[in-house]
Amino acid sequence: MYRDTKRLGEAYEGLISRTGNTPHPLCVLLRRLRDASGKSLRQIEQKSGIPSVVLGAYERGDREPPLRKLDAALRTFGYAITAVPIDVDAVPLSEDIVAELRRIADQLEARDVHGAADRGPDAAPRARFLTTST
């Protein structure tokens, strides 16, 4: 996740003032990554398959990129577009719930292994309840 929000904001404002357009925030990140890597638009074109003139238009805010193309461009720098929950009101998906239950069960199991000595040598391990559907 991009953590230097102050510098990202400055870059974003700089792009707005130069072009009069507002580039997508992820296009600002794309430009910053490209600048930091020292790669040209043509080099990114070769890796992503997106024409350099189109990439430049995304960076300037002249065109709004489809997520598929923006993701392809960001992947050339080792980034991917991912949706993550932002708060407790997010709608949980079944696979997220299963993953969270597995994580909790693993923590409990690890605690059981370490805590077995406290319960005595004859103590049975606590049952692990987790089922998955296929």
For the chain, the distance separating the N- and C-terminal CA atoms, rounded to the nearest angstrom, is: 32
Residue ranges of domains in the chain: 5-75, 86-134
Q: pTM for this structure?
A: 0.53
Query: To the nearest 5 percent, what fractions of the chain are helix, strand and coil?
Result: 60, 0, 40
DSSP states of 81-132 as a string? ------STTSPPPHHHHHHHHHHHHHHHHHHHHHHHHHH-TTPPPPP-----
Architecture of domain 5-75: Orthogonal Bundle (1.10)
Q: pLDDT (tens digit, 0 to 9) for every residue of the chain, 134 residues total?
A: 445 555 555 555 544 445 568 898 999 999 999 999 999 999 999 999 999 999 999 999 999 899 999 999 999 999 988 887 777 777 777 777 888 888 888 888 887 766 555 555 555 555 444 445 44
Cβ(52)–Cβ(41) under 8 Å? yes
